[in-house]
Structure 1
Amino acid sequence: MSHNDRGRKNTTSAAQIVHDIGRRVADQGGDAYLVGGAVISELSGRVPDNYDLELHGLEQTTVETILGDVAGHEPLRMEGRSYGVYRLTVEGIDIECSLPRRDSKTGPRHPDVTASIDPFMGVAAAAQRRDFTIGAIYKHVLTGQIEDPTGGRRDLAEHVLRAVDDRTFADDPLRAVRAVQLAGRYDLQPDLRTLALLRSLVPETVHLPPERFAPEWRKLFLKSEHPSIGLRLAKTMGLYRIWSPELDALDHIEQDPEYHPEGDVWTHTLLVVDEAKTRSPQELEVHLAALLHDTGKSTTTRTDERGRIIAYGHEQAGCEPAQRFLERQGFGADSVSVVTALIREHMTPHTLYREKDMVHDGAIRRLARRLSPATIDQLCVLASADIAGSSLPGGSRFDFPSGDWLRDRARALKIEHQAPIPIIHGRDLLARGWKPGPIFGQIITAAELAIENGRTETEIKDIIADSPDPDFALSAIQKE
C-alpha cells in the first residue's frame, strides 16, 4: 500500500469517527460542527489531515460520555478539560472536540486566560473567539450545512486573511506565527487592518515559550506547496527583526549577478525554499536548512579587488545564527544538528566535484561522518535546490552534475542515507580474547580513520587477526 493510499485510509477512518460523534451528539439533541482546518481544506479541494469539532447544545458531562464511548480503546486526552477541549487520535489522524466558550484574558501570559464554557451560546457567538475568519466557517457534520457568521468563505475564495475581532485578537501573540503558516498553506494575504494587528503582536512573541513556535513552522513547511508565501509575510510583519537579525538582513545583501541573476540573498533564499519543498516535500530539516543556508552571507559578503561580490566562509558563519534561530523556535537538538550540518556542508558537493578524479572513497566517508545525523542524500537535495534557486527559468545552472556524482559515489559505499558503519566492532576484538578497555574505542576510531585515508577493509581486518595484543593492533593500524 502506498503512502497516499495509507493516508486516504487513515483519513477515511477518522472521517467515520467524526460522523459517529456527530450522530451520537444529534441523538442527544445537540449539533456537531466541523470548524477550522478541516473545513478550510475541504473548501480548498484538499483532504483534511486533522479534524476540529465544536459540539453545541449538550452539557459537558454528556459530551464526555459520548467521546469516551467513541474513543473505545483509543486514549481520550483530557488535558484541556477546563477549556472544554478533548483530543483523540485515530490511525495517526488527530480529532479535537471542543465545547463553545468565551475566553477572558486575565494577565500578560498565554496561560492567563479564563474559559467560560457555554454549550448553548450558538454558532455566531462562538465564532467570535476564533482568530481568523477562514477558521470560523462551520460545517454541520451530518447535514453538511455551512454556517459562516464572519464571512470566512468569501475571504478564503478571495485569498484574504482577516481577523475576526480586533478587540480579542491580541490576546495570543502566537497568532502572528499562525498567520504565517496559514498564508503559506492557503495562499493568503492579510488585509491592511489585520496586517497592522499582526505587526502589533510581533514584539509580544518574545514572551512566548519556544515550544509553541515549532508546530507552526512544521505546518508551514510540510503543508504548504509554496512555503515562501508565508515566509514573505513573516518578513513584511517584521518577525525576523525580532528572531534573527541575520535572516532579516538578507534582502539588503547583494550577490554576484553572474552566479545569482535572481538578485539579493533573500530573493534567492525564497526560491531555494520552494525548490527544496518540491524536491523533498516531507523533509522538514531540509526545508529549514534551505531557509537558513545563506544567513552567513550577512556577515561575510564583501566586494573584492576585482569588484566582484564574494562571501567566502558563509557556510560556517551561518551555523551559529541558524542554531540560535532554531532553538528560539523550539526545535530540538536533533533537528538543530541536522540543519547546521547541512548548512556547513552545502557547498561541499561542488568542491568535491571540481576535484572528482582525485577524490577517493575515504573523502566521501568523511563527508558522511561529518554530516551525521544529516545524510548525503539530504545534502544533495539542499545543494540541488540551491543551484535551482540561483538560476533563471530554463538556465543551464538547473543542471546539477555534482549532486548526481556524489549520490552515485555514496550509494556505492552504502552511505547515501546514513553515516558509515564501523568496520570493526567491540565484539571483533573480544573474539580475539582481548580484555575490553578504552583501547577498544581507540582501535575502532583508528580503523575508521585508516579507511577514510585509503586503506582497505581487508587490510584492517588482517591486522586485527594477526596482532598479538590490542596495543600492537592500534600501532599497526595507525601506521601510514
Structure 2
Amino acid sequence: MRIYKVGGAVRDRLLGKPVTDIDWVVVGATTEEMLAKGFRPVGADFPVFLHPKSGEEYALARTERKSGRGYGGFTFHASPEVTLEEDLIRRDLTINAMAEDDQQNLTDPYQGQRDLEARLLRHVSPAFAEDPLRVLRVARFAARYATLGFSVAPETLALMRQLSESGELEALTPERSWKEISRALMEDQPQVFIEVLRACGALKVLMPEVDALFGVPQPPAHHPEIDTGAHTLSVLQQSALHKQPLTVRWACLLHDLGKGLTPNEEWPRHVAHEFKGLKLIKAVNERFKAPRDCQELALLVGEYHTHGHRALELKPSTLLELLQSFDVYRRPQRFEEFITACEMDARGRKGLENRSYPQADYLRGAATAARSVAVQPLLEKGFKGPALGEAIKRERLKALKVYKDAASA
C-alpha cells in the first residue's frame, strides 16, 4: 500500500498558494485492507474512505471508462493493480495530475509542472472530451488563475469546442452546472469564466441569453464601452474587485439580458429592456436551479436597476414603491445588495470605474426615512386592518417627501 497526495494540494503548493483541501489516493490496496486499518467507507460509486483520525478522504486508485452521457456516464474500476499513472491520467488537467509522497517526491507523468511554469491549462488525455463538466471546470480554473497569467492551451480549447458542439453539455444536471458556475463567479476574475465559455462555444449552449449580449451596442454617452456583452463582463469584474457576495455577482451577470431582445433597428437604445429581460432572467434562474436568494435579487436588479441610477430624480411616490418592492422593512439586506449591484453596474463602464455613486447613500437614507415611521401611534389612533396599512403608507410617503426636500436643499 502506497499513499500519495494528489491534485489541487500538489498544484497549489508548487504555485506557492495556500493549500486548503487535500486529496489522497491509495495505490496497491484492497477495500478489506483499508477497513482493517480503521478507514470508514463513504464512496457509493467507487471506494472512498475516511481516515480514522483526520477524517480526510482517501480514494483507491481507479480507472474509468465512458459508459453513458453526461458527467455521471462513467464506469469505474478500482483494484490493487491500478497504477498511480493510470489513476492520474483520468484527471482533467496536467496541473491537476501530479502526485507526491510523504517526502514530497513528485510524480509528474504528464508534465504538469512544465505547464505550471508555462502558465497553461492543458488536458491530460483525449479522454478529457468524454466529460462535459470539464468545460465548466477549465473555465473556472481560468478565472481562478488569470491573475497569475494562466490561459487555456489551444488544443484544450479545441476539445472544449468539440464538447460544446456535441450536445453533451445538455446532459449536465442543473445541480452540477450551478456548483461550477457559482464557484467560478466567486473567483477573483469571474469575467474570465464567461470569456472562456464564449471562446469555446459553451456560453451559447448554457446561457444563450448572456451570449446574445455580445455585439449589441448601447448609447456611447452612457456606455463608452458600447458593447453590452463587454459591459456585462466589466460589471462582473467590478463585483469581484469589490468582494461582493454570490447574490450580487449573479445579479450583475443577468441584469441587462433584456437588451439582447432589442430589434436591431432600435439600437443603440433599449426601451423597456428592464421588463423585457425578466422572462430571460427567470429562465436562466430555473435552468440552473439557482438558490432562492440569487433568483430573487437577479429579478429585482433586472427590473429596477435604472431606478437605482435615477434615484435622485425619483418622485417620493416612486421611491416608496421601490422600497415596498424590496420589503426594506423586513429584508433590509436585500435592498443593500440591490444598491451595491446598481453601483457595480455604474462602475462597469469604460473609464468610469472609479466614479462616485451618490445614489447609493441617497437610497440608504430613503430606506432609513421610510423605516423610521412608527406604527404604534397609528394603532393608538384606532387604525387597523387595511386602513392601518394605508395610514402607514401615507406616513412613509410624508417622511420621504421631507427626506427628498432636505437632500435637495
Give the TM-score category using the shorter length. 0.7 to 0.9
Q: Which amino acid aligns with 2:90?
A: R
- Among 92, 97, 106, which residue is 1:136 paired with? 97
Whether 1:182 aligns to 2:130 is: no
Residue 217 (structure 2) pairs with residue 254 (structure 1): yes
Cα distance change, pair 396–324 in 1 and its aligned pair in 2 (3 A): closer
State the 1:86 CA deviation.
4.1
1:339 equivalent among 294, 298, 318? 298
2:349 counterpart SS class: coil
CA distance in structure 1 between the aligned counterparts of 2:80 and 2:385, rounded to whole angstroms = 64
TM (normalized to structure 1)? 0.72
The answer (yes or no) to whether the contact 1:183–1:189 under 8 Å persists in 2 is yes
Q: Which residue of 1 aligns with 2:178?
A: 214
Q: Is the counterpart of residue 312 in structure 1 residue 283 in structure 2?
A: no
The aligned length equals 392
Of the structure 1 ranges 226-235 and 96-105, higher mean CA displacement relative to structure 2 is found in 96-105
2:359 to 394, 402, 405: 402
Equivalent residue, structure 1, for 2:406: none
Structure 1 residues 106 and 396, CA gap change in structure 2 (3 angstroms): closer
Q: Which amino acid aligns with 2:113?
A: R
Q: Is residue 301–residue 342 contact of structure 2 (8 Å, CA) maintained in 1?
A: no
Q: Which residue of 2 aligns with 1:365?
A: 323
**Alignment of 1:294 onto 2:256:** yes
Query: What is the deviation of 1:270?
Result: 0.8
RCO higher in structure (CA 8 A, sep ≥6): 2
Structure 1 unmatched ranges of 5 or more: 1-29, 69-75, 457-480
The correspondence of residues 297-446 of structure 1 with structure 2, limited to 5 A, is 297-300=259-262, 309-355=268-314, 358=316, 362=320, 365-369=323-327, 375-392=334-351, 395=352, 398-411=355-368, 423=375, 442=386, 445-446=389-390
Which of 184, 191, 203 is residue 153 of structure 2 equivalent to? 191
The whole-number CA distance in structure 2 between the counterparts of 1:231 and 1:67 is 45
User: Are 2:29 and 1:53 equivalent residues in the alignment?
Assistant: no
2:240 is aligned, of 270, 273, 277, to 277
Task: Provide the rounded CA distance (Å) in 1 between the counterparts of 2:339 and 2:296.
Answer: 17
What displacement does 1:378 show?
0.8
Report the alpha carbon displacement of residue 451 of structure 1 after superposing the two structures with TM: 4.5
Q: Describe the shift of the 1:302–1:451 C-alpha distance in structure 2 as closer, same or farther (beyond 3 A).
A: farther
Distance 1:44 1:348, change over 3 A: farther
- Output one character per residue of 1:260-296: Cα deviation in whole Å (capped at 9) or x when no partner: 1123011111111010112134x11111111111111
Q: Using the TM superposition, give the Cα deviation of residue 97 of structure 1 relative to its aligned residue in structure 2, in angstroms.
A: 2.6
The 2-side partners of 1:385 and 1:87 are apart by: 43
CA offset at residue 251 of structure 1?
Answer: 1.4
> Contact 1:301/1:310 (CA < 8 Å) preserved in 2?
no
Please say if residues 352 and 359 of structure 1, whose CA atoms lie closer than 8 Å, have aligned partners that are also in contact: no
Aligned: 1:97 with 2:58:
yes
Match of 1:477 in 2: none
Alpha-carbon RMSD across the aligned residues, in angstroms, is 3.5
Aligned residue number for residue 148 of structure 1: 108
Give the Cα–Cα distance (whole angstroms) in 2 for the partners of residues 367 and 57 of structure 1: 61
Of 157, 170, 180, 2:117 maps to 157
Residue type of the alignment partner of 2:169: T
Between the aligned residues of both structures, percent identity stands at 27
Quick check: 1:365–1:452 contact (8 Å CA) kept in 2?
no
- Mapped to 1, the partners of 2:8 and 2:285 lie a distance apart of 26
Paired position in structure 1 for 2:168: 204
Are the equivalent residues in 2 in contact too, given 1:35–1:54 (CA < 8 A)? yes
Preserved contact between residue 106 and residue 113 of structure 1 (Cα < 8 Å): yes
